[in-house]
Structure 1
Amino acid sequence: MTGHIIGTLADIPLGEGRTFVVDNRQIAVYHLRDGTLRALDAVCPHRGGPLADGLIDSATVVCPLHGRTYDLATGAESTGGAPVRSHTATVDSDGAVRVILG
């Protein structure tokens, strides 16, 4: 499988996000409560907020600085503001987390 191995699933607590550097880009990877992974650019385009530190649910992340909300699947901002790029994150059979930049 192609992509960049960024660590293991154990590096990302359930229900939280973590930032990783992939090809000199900051990528936020989220471990959702259902066990799936999502990945977005890690910097909010509004004011540079750290999206990995935002509150997440099954579908969105809220920027901790100014409350902008982004769709975890598409990167779209809920009020039509500037989006963030979404990426593919998967877990290999050995627990390695792999990101494919979108």
Structure 2
Amino acid sequence: MPREFQPAVYIMANRRNGTIYAGVTSDLPKRAWQHRESAFDGFSKRYGCKLLVWYELHATMEYAILREKQIKAGSRTKKLALIEAMNPQWRDLYHDICGP
């Protein structure tokens, strides 16, 4: 059965308090897997951002894109605060959204 369309904003990291990458997607499990596998060239591959450390689900892609822009425009301190509030241990949340 195909997955449902579920807009999400997410943050990947290479380690606790390390390099972070914020993005938006309609399929978070698939996109997180692509980051983990370095499936595409770019920032997250270059810096090894393979840990899903924060995400937020949205009702529409429009809202998700607006939120992503807001997050990207914010300071690193604000991004770290988002992560710490949801995931103070900086666990990789990939298996939480995809299963074992």
The verdict on a shared fold, with TM-score over 0.5 as the criterion, is no
Q: TM-score, normalised by structure 1?
A: 0.30
TM-score, normalized by length of structure 2?
0.30
Q: Greater helix share, 1 or 2?
A: 2
Q: Which has the higher strand share?
A: 1
